[in-house]
Structure 1
Amino acid sequence: MTATTVLEGFSFLEAPRWRQSRIWFADFYQYQVFSAREDGSDLRVEATVPQQPSGLGWLPDGRLLIVSMRDRRILRREPDGELVTHAELNGHATGHLNDMVVDGRGRAYVGNFGFDLMGAAPLETAALHRVDPDGTVTEVATDLWFPNGSVLTNDGALLVGETFGNRVTAFDVTGDGALVNRRIWAEFGPVPTERAVGKALPQLEIAPDGCCLDAEGALWIADGAHARLVRVTEGGKITDEVRPGTPVFACALGGSDGKTLFACAAPDFDEHARSAAREARLLAIRVPVPGA
């Protein structure tokens, strides 16, 4: 499996999503949400988010939700294109908001950094929050080591990648949106003993960043620490590995047949370096199993 470049010239890409025959993604430091066709043509600016966009999702009626990282809000794009505040998490999250997954009822599960990553603060755990369609915010899980890429499975579970936890954690989602039966879905190594980010990173076997689910229930994970994409089954077995020659930080399955693995690539995740350059790319890799 080899990677080809679909689009380039961005700062730092995150949260790829396949929807309406287009690949959608956020660019942190150009402060915009984009979409394009499978081959990268017809690039569109879908929204401008001055406080840094990240996770994307859609309400059942088709309105777009966007994580606004720095002011810890979730924005909603109305049918006329106006962005309004859907939910305010300033009094809840302990770091920049990050990735998000939205279920079929319009409930959004959103993680946050938990500490000042770019300011070189020591690692701290973070909570996961649920935002209901009316904007109500509820804490649904605690003590997660950087809750990052998340997916909802067909059997009613939520999988959350803990970037600094060396693992993917699973929860069952109840009818009212609560998370129960917390368990380790895949463990790649122990939680790092170091709390300085630079010292913790070498202790990570896999640093789960953005992820996506395929039709066989396996998880494609962008390993943010080792410049690779890995396909993992429950229990932690790696069945496939793609090394595109660059660090990758998020992925999504899509394309006309669901077998294109889109990946967000950049030289690193350093805010100062990425905001000053336009070296990020959107990659595509053909894989055998389509998206879920």
Structure 2
Amino acid sequence: MRARATVVLDGYGVLESLRWHDGALWFCDLAHGTVHRWDTRGEPETVAEVPGRAGGLGWLPDGRMLVVSMDGRCVYRREPDGSLVVHADLKGIAGGPVNDMFVDRRGRAYVGNFGFDYHGFVRKQPNSMLYAPPGPPRTPLACLSPKGELLGLSEPLVFPNGMFLLDEEQGADDGQPAGAGPTLLVAETLAMRLTALPVLPDGRLGPPCPWAPLIPSALWTSLNHPGVLGRITRRVSALLDHPAIADRSATPIAPDGIAPGRDGTAWVANALRGECVRVGPGGKILDRVATSQRTLSCLVAGPDGTTLYAATTPTDDPQRAAGLGGSRLEAYTLPS
């Protein structure tokens, strides 16, 4: 029998950006612009209300929280008195809503964005039509210093989303040889792949390298074909996007949030259907855990560090989701 998560919290707009910090699970509600903290026992508390919809989360070494404002296209810093101040303004960088964020132990933040008005596009036509040449717009990750200064931009990526460091312990101290350091693993949602970018000693990101394709190469080629083959593939794909069909498919996987797994693997929240998938380098699928609906974020955490949490939603469209209140937090205890 396939492993299945159970619902532990319900009634939110769009839950995203699961983080474990200071003995509690933190998350955002993208539809309502709120940040929540939950100790896994009682009721979650609302920690902050963020102008422009709350997105990615992280913390500076001194404990101050960083939170993305998606529509404000900036990163806020939460001061000890609870006030929010602009940590970094990304209006000149982001081609669409600012999205997920990873903050390392030094306080350097890596921030993605949609690159274009994704929801505006899919409200008018199927998602598969994005792949008509020239394909979805590309956009860089912004690399920020602990003070919010722009260190640099990555090479453009296809809808960069969830991120984590594969080997954060490496390069943690100054004085490492040139080029030494950890690797940032990034979910390119619309490219349906995980991509690795080396973190350079100064915090900037090096050239991206393939880490795990999550769509068969033949299907990817057909989907992006400029001729008749592409037009047919995109139309068929649009028909297969229906939830009743998509839920019965094992491929492709659209990675949204990602989190570290065992032995250098990655847990992937599949934005196309209700599941979290553990993936190894090269794209080998090692485990699947079913959820009740489309999954946008995942994290292995909890008091004993053995619980897979998943943020799920009936729709990621913030306008629709705000009225539905159908987003859930689900959990599954991983076998030892």
Query: What secondary structure does 1:185 align onto?
Result: strand
1:166, 1:208 within 8 Å by CA — same for their partners in 2? yes
2:51, 2:72 within 8 Å by CA — same for their partners in 1? no
2:113, 2:159 within 8 Å by CA — same for their partners in 1? yes
Q: CA deviation at 1:50?
A: 2.3
Q: Aligned residue for 1:160? A: 186
1:252, 1:263 within 8 Å by CA — same for their partners in 2? yes
**Fraction of identical pairs, as percent:** 41
In the alignment, is residue 285 of structure 1 matched against residue 332 of structure 2?
A: yes
In the alignment, is residue 219 of structure 1 matched against residue 232 of structure 2?
A: no
Query: What secondary structure does 2:319 align onto?
Result: helix
Paired residue for 2:296, among 220, 236, 249?
A: 249
In the alignment, is residue 125 of structure 1 matched against residue 127 of structure 2?
A: no
The equivalences for 1:96-111 within 5 A come to: 96-111=97-112
Q: Aligned residue for 2:24? A: 22
List gaps (5 residues or longer) in structure 1: none
Q: Aligned residue for 2:149? A: 136
**Structure 1 runs (4+) greater than 6 angstroms displaced:** 194-198
Question: Quick check: which one's strand share is greater?
Answer: 1
The equivalences for 1:24-63 within 5 A come to: 24-39=26-41, 41-63=42-64
Q: CA deviation at 1:201?
A: 8.7
Deviates more, 1:176-185 or 1:145-154: 176-185
**CA 1:34–1:224 in 2, change beyond 3 Å: closer, same or farther?**
same
Equivalent pairs, count: 288
Q: CA deviation at 1:245?
A: 2.8
Q: Deviations over 1:52-77 (max 9, x none)?
A: 00100000111100000001010000
Distance 2:72 2:240 in 1: 27
Q: Aligned residue for 1:265? A: 312
Q: Deviations over 1:66-124 (max 9, x none)?
A: 00000101000011111110000001111100000001111100100001011117531
List gaps (5 residues or longer) in structure 2: 123-129, 131-135, 171-181, 225-229
Return the TM-score normalized by structure 1: 0.92
Distance 1:157 1:199 in 2: 35
Q: Deviations over 1:183-216 (max 9, x none)?
A: 1110123454179898599597110000100242
CA RMSD of aligned residues (A): 2.2
Query: What secondary structure does 2:93 align onto?
Result: coil
Q: Deviations over 1:139-186 (max 9, x none)?
A: 422331110000012241100000011210001111101212421110
Distance 2:58 2:293 in 1: 27
The equivalences for 1:75-94 within 5 A come to: 75-94=76-95
Q: Aligned residue for 1:237? A: 284
Query: What secondary structure does 1:120 align onto?
Result: helix
Q: Aligned residue for 1:151? A: 164
1:21, 1:38 within 8 Å by CA — same for their partners in 2? no
Q: CA deviation at 1:226?
A: 2.5
Distance 1:250 1:131 in 2: 23
Deviates more, 1:77-86 or 1:214-223: 214-223
Distance 1:199 1:165 in 2: 16
Q: CA deviation at 1:288?
A: 3.1
Q: CA deviation at 1:275?
A: 1.7
In the alignment, is residue 179 of structure 1 matched against residue 205 of structure 2?
A: yes
1:26, 1:33 within 8 Å by CA — same for their partners in 2? yes
Distance 2:263 2:304 in 1: 15
Distance 1:70 1:200 in 2: 31
Distance 1:50 1:200 in 2: 37
Distance 1:201 1:248 in 2: 18
**CA 1:201–1:13 in 2, change beyond 3 Å: closer, same or farther?**
farther
Question: Quick check: which one's helix share is greater?
Answer: 2
